[in-house]
Amino acid sequence: MSLLLSPLDALAERVGLARASELLAVALTHSSYAAEHECESNERLEFLGDAVVDLAVADLIVTSYPQLNEGSGSSVRSRVVNESSLADAATRLELASAMRIGRGVKKEHGLDRPSLLADAFEAVVAAIYLENGYDAAKSFIHETLGEAVADAASRPGDGDPKTRLRQWSEANGLGAPDYEVTSSGPSHDATYTALVRIARRPVGTGEGRSKKSAEARAADDAWGRRDA
- C-alpha pair distances (Å), 101 with each of 117, 161, 227: 11, 31, 39
* 122: annotated active-site residue: yes
Q: What is the DSSP string of 192-214?
A: EEEEEEETTEEEEEEEESSHHHH
Task: Say which of 9, 119, 122, 189 is annotated catalytic.
Answer: 122
| The one-letter amino acid at 178 | D
Instruction: Encode 120-157: b = buried (16+ Cβ within 10 Å), e = exposed.
Output: bbbbbbbbbbbbbeeeebbebbbebbeebbeebbeebe
**Structure letter (DSSP) for residue 5:** S
* 40: annotated active-site residue: no
> Which of 32, 34, 21 is CA-nearest to residue 126?
21
Task: Say which of 50, 189, 215, 220 is annotated catalytic.
Answer: 50
> Which of 209, 211, 51, 223 is CA-nearest to residue 126?
51
| The one-letter amino acid at 36 | E
List residues with catalytic annotation.
Answer: 50, 122
